[in-house]
């Protein structure tokens, strides 16, 4: 290579490459509009006729010689898209920085050989062998998303030619050998040209991806819980590769001391930050594997898995959080495959959101013993009824909370709260709307500003309308009430946690706990919380959803240093399905 390229750690620079699909016309020589200027050279374009075998061999040989010699301008001129080739080859030279590059033509190749090199599974063998539970897991090993991205790289256009690539790196005697592929097309001047595509650099490389030398964090060993117990969970195990890759990236950004890291050549997907990088070659090994320790409690996790199994086929999810730290103690989904709805669900939470509405009302000067009537219909233009037929004109706010009176919260919210108050309280007190980095992809909940739309304000005050939550968010809200301070949920203790703008005052926190405790002992949650009401509080919820005849069941509760929330699709009232699931976790935890 020119100028003796050195190995280095390169991050954050994109390889801008465009794959040209099919036979198109590529302008390689510009023209002139000046009639007095010399006649412009005729443009070279790709023609449909394939090159001869001799032309294909010569086109591949000339390109590879120029690339290996570091003559990027010449190599790019021997392609059908010099601009894209120049950008890509320059980026490879600057980001991978091999100290030596050997590229040996290998003659004609087959599409099957190219498919094998990309790592694309054949239709008959689409699943990879399972990793033994006691084997270290590499967070930068090729993932399903990496394979899917590679599969998008169809065999190169033109006559397919193979080559052998060998890259050397300063500071190590390791060499990187791989099989490369390129397509050769025929141009209108009867010369061959390499059809440019990202896969010319490496068969795994697809449009929208980068190839570079990056730090390789230490491999993760066995996955263990907070107490160093081996963790094998149906809900968590499939997510471990994504979790490890995301945690490694977040900790690398936070921790400037990367002495345990190695270095290697990796491909990353610039469009999907949650996908695991595709590690191609290790230049320097990272330190030996360490246990991958999660905040999960294996006992509570087993209880959460059982709670979801006990739903009898209904869809649902559950999350348990430690309020004092924000650490996630357990989460589970039904079904265990597919969407991690515990973290990524986007559902109306129903009356469990009255915890948030109550917070805003208490901060506006309403007290638990303030008279707040519970009429049969709400006062907003599109009147909303309660789920029960009776009216309670002499109720207090606490009594309305205990029986979950929709009309009371709608009317008092419209009377006492300024437009946008719920959105502001959700963000400033409960961290809703901040960018949570839990360790897994998550939907961090939405309480949009309803503005002056009274019907939308009404719906949001009872957890309907455009409000979207999941058990992670509701469990976090409940944990914040219990502790008085928002602690962003995390799955690995060392991860950075977002901070809310302010804590709720001790007075407001105390009143919220008083209202939730009353609901657990004498309100809608009484039966479910029987026997577990000491130092505890709860809130029930049910939410209407499009396309579902029966309401979704929601329930959230805390006891001691534990907060739990669950939802069950089509589960009915909060106490019908989600409530027993939450109660089972609290009972399994004992007195934390």
Of 30-34, 276-280, 356-360, the range with the lowest mean pLDDT is: 30-34
Q: Which two tokens stand for residue 153?
A: 């790289």
Q: What is the pLDDT of residue 431?
A: 97
Q: Tell me if 555 sits within 8 A of 525, measured CB to CB.
A: yes
**Whole-angstrom Cα distance, residue 325 to residue 296?**
12
DSSP-derived letter for residue 566 is E
- Burial per residue of 269-301, b for 16 or more beta-carbon CB atoms within 10 angstroms, e otherwise: beeeeebbbbbbbbbbebeeeeebbbbbbbbbb
> Do 320 and 438 sit in the same domain of this protein?
yes
Neighbours of 248 (CB within 10 A): 23
215: helix, coil or strand?
strand
DSSP 493-550: TTS-----S-PPPHHHHHHHHHHHHHHHHHSTTTTTTTT--TTEEEEEEEE--TT-SS
> Do 412 and 512 sit in the same domain of this protein?
yes
Residue 123 belongs to some domain of the structure: no
33: helix, coil or strand?
coil
pLDDT tens, position by position, 37-94: 455 567 889 999 999 999 999 999 999 999 999 999 999 999 999 999 999 999 999 9
pLDDT tens, position by position, 393-451: 999 999 999 999 999 999 999 999 999 999 999 999 999 999 999 999 999 899 999 99
Neighbours of 58 (CB within 10 A): 16
List the beta bridge partners of residue 103.
Answer: 165
Question: pLDDT-derived band of residue 126, with 50, 70 and 90 as boundaries?
Answer: very low
**Whole-angstrom Cα distance, residue 232 to residue 292?**
12
pLDDT tens, position by position, 519-538: 999 999 999 999 997 899 99
Residue 336 belongs to some domain of the structure: yes
**Whole-angstrom Cα distance, residue 182 to residue 205?**
12
Of 250-254, 317-321, 456-460, the range with the lowest mean pLDDT is: 250-254
Residue 42 belongs to some domain of the structure: no
Q: What is the pLDDT of residue 255?
A: 55
In this structure, what CATH number is given to the domain that contains residue 430? 3.40.710.10
**Whole-angstrom Cα distance, residue 366 to residue 354?**
14
Q: Tell me if 329 sits within 8 A of 318, measured CB to CB.
A: no
**Whole-angstrom Cα distance, residue 232 to residue 330?**
12
Residue 22 belongs to some domain of the structure: no
Q: Which two tokens stand for residue 511?
A: 């009143």
Give me the percent of the chain exceeding a pLDDT of 90.
73
**More confident of the two residues 269 and 124:** 269
DSSP 240-267: HHHHHHHHHHHHHHH----TT-EEEEEE
> Do 254 and 307 sit in the same domain of this protein?
no
Q: What is the pLDDT of residue 4?
A: 37
Q: Which two tokens stand for residue 162?
A: 């193979």
**Whole-angstrom Cα distance, residue 438 to residue 277?**
19
Last-in-domain residue among 234, 262, 290: 290
> Do 453 and 483 sit in the same domain of this protein?
yes
Last-in-domain residue among 255, 290, 325: 290
SS3 letters for 134-147?
CCCECCCCCCHHHH
Residue 40 belongs to some domain of the structure: no
β-strand 563-568 against 552-559: which pairing, if any? antiparallel
Domain holding 424, by residue range, is: 298-589
Residue 448 belongs to some domain of the structure: yes
Cα 239 to Cα 263, 333, 558, distances in angstroms: 25, 12, 27
Q: Which candidate, 434, 420, 417, places its Cα nearest to that of 502?
A: 434
> Do 145 and 60 sit in the same domain of this protein?
yes
Whether 234 has a pLDDT exceeding 80, the answer reads yes
**Whole-angstrom Cα distance, residue 130 to residue 289?**
19
> Do 112 and 59 sit in the same domain of this protein?
yes
386 Cβ contact list (under 8 Å, min separation 6): 374, 376, 405, 406, 407
**Whole-angstrom Cα distance, residue 533 to residue 535?**
6
> Do 160 and 186 sit in the same domain of this protein?
yes
488: helix, coil or strand?
coil
Over range 276-287, report the average pLDDT: 89
Question: pLDDT-derived band of residue 246, with 50, 70 and 90 as boundaries?
Answer: confident
> Do 254 and 276 sit in the same domain of this protein?
yes
> Do 354 and 271 sit in the same domain of this protein?
no
As for how many domains the chain has, the answer is: 2
> Do 174 and 265 sit in the same domain of this protein?
yes
Last-in-domain residue among 290, 306, 330: 290
> Do 377 and 240 sit in the same domain of this protein?
no
**More confident of the two residues 77 and 139:** 77
pTM over 0.75: no
**Whole-angstrom Cα distance, residue 173 to residue 170?**
8
β-strand 220-224 against 290-293: which pairing, if any? parallel
Neighbours of 494 (CB within 10 A): 12
**More confident of the two residues 9 and 473:** 473
β-strand 209-216 against 220-224: which pairing, if any? unpaired
CB-side neighbour CA atoms (13 Å) of 574: 32
Q: Which two tokens stand for residue 129?
A: 């062998």
Residue 43 belongs to some domain of the structure: no
> Do 52 and 104 sit in the same domain of this protein?
yes
Instruction: Calculate the average pLDDT of the chain.
Output: 86
Residue 31 belongs to some domain of the structure: no
Give residue 534's Cα distance to chain centre.
Answer: 37
Position of tokens 């959803």?
A: 545
**Whole-angstrom Cα distance, residue 544 to residue 575?**
15
């Amino acid at each position: 290579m020119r100028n003796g390229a050195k190995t280095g750690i390169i991050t954050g620079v994109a390889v801008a490459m465009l794959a040209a699909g099919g036979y198109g016309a590529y302008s390689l020589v510009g023209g002139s509009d000046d009639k007095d200027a010399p006649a412009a050279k005729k443009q070279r374009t790709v023609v449909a006729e394939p090159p001869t075998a001799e032309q294909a061999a010569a086109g591949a040989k000339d390109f590879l010689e120029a690339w290996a010699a570091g003559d990027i301008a010449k190599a790019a001129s021997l392609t059908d898209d010099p601009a894209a080739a120049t950008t890509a080859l320059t980026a490879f030279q600057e980001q991978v920085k091999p100290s030596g590059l050997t590229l040996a033509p290998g003659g004609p190749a087959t599409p099957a050989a190219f498919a094998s090199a990309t790592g694309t599974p054949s239709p008959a063998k689409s699943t990879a062998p399972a990793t033994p539970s006691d084997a270290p897991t590499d967070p930068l090993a090729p993932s399903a998303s990496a394979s899917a991205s590679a599969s998008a790289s169809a065999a190169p256009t033109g006559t397919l030619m193979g080559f052998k690539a060998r890259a050397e790196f300063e500071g190590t005697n390791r060499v990187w050998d791989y099989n490369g592929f390129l397509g050769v097309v025929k141009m209108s001047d009867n010369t061959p040209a390499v059809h440019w595509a990202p896969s010319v650099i490496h068969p795994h490389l697809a449009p929208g991806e980068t190839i570079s030398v990056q730090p390789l964090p230490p491999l993760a060993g066995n996955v263990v819980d907070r107490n160093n117990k081996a963790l094998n969970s149906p809900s968590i195990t499939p997510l471990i590769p994504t979790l490890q890759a995301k945690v490694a990236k977040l900790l690398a950004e936070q921790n400037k001391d990367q002495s345990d890291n190695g270095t290697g050549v990796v491909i990353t997907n610039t469009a999907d930050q949650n996908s695991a990088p595709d590690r191609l070659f290790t230049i320097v090994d990272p330190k030996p594997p360490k246990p991958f320790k999660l905040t999960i409690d294996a006992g509570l996790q087993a209880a959460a898995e059982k709670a979801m199994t006990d739903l009898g086929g209904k869809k649902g999810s559950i999350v348990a959080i430690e309020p004092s730290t924000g650490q996630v103690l357990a989460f589970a989904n039904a079904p265990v495959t597919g969407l991690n709805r515990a973290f990524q669900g986007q559902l109306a939470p129903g009356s469990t959101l009255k915890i948030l509405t109550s917070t805003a009302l208490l901060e506006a000067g309403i007290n638990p013993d303030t008279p707040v009537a519970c009429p049969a219909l709400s006062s907003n233009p599109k009147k909303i009824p309660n789920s029960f037929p009776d009216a309670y004109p002499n109720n207090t706010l606490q009594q309305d909370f205990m029986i979950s009176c929709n009309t009371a919260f709608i009317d008092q919210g419209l009377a006492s709260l300024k437009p946008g108050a719920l959105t502001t309280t959700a963000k400033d007190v409960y961290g809703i709307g901040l960018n949570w980095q839990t360790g897994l992809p998550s939907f961090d909940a939405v309480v949009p500003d309803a503005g002056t739309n009274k019907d939308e304000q009404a719906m949001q005050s009872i957890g309907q309308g455009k409000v979207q939550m999941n058990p992670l968010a509701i469990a976090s809200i409940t944990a914040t009430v219990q502790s008085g301070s928002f602690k962003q949920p995390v799955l690995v203790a060392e991860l950075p946690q977002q901070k809310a703008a302010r804590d709720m005052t001790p007075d407001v926190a105390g009143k919220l706990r008083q209202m939730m405790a009353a609901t657990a002992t004498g309100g809608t949650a009484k039966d479910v919380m029987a026997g577990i009401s000491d130092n505890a509080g709860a809130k029930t919820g049910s939410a209407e959803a499009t396309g579902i005849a029966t309401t979704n069941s929601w329930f959230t509760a805390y006891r001691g240093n534990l907060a739990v929330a669950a939802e069950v699709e089509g589960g009915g009232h909060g106490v019908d399905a989600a409530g027993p699931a939450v109660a089972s976790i609290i009972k399994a935890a004992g007195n934390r």
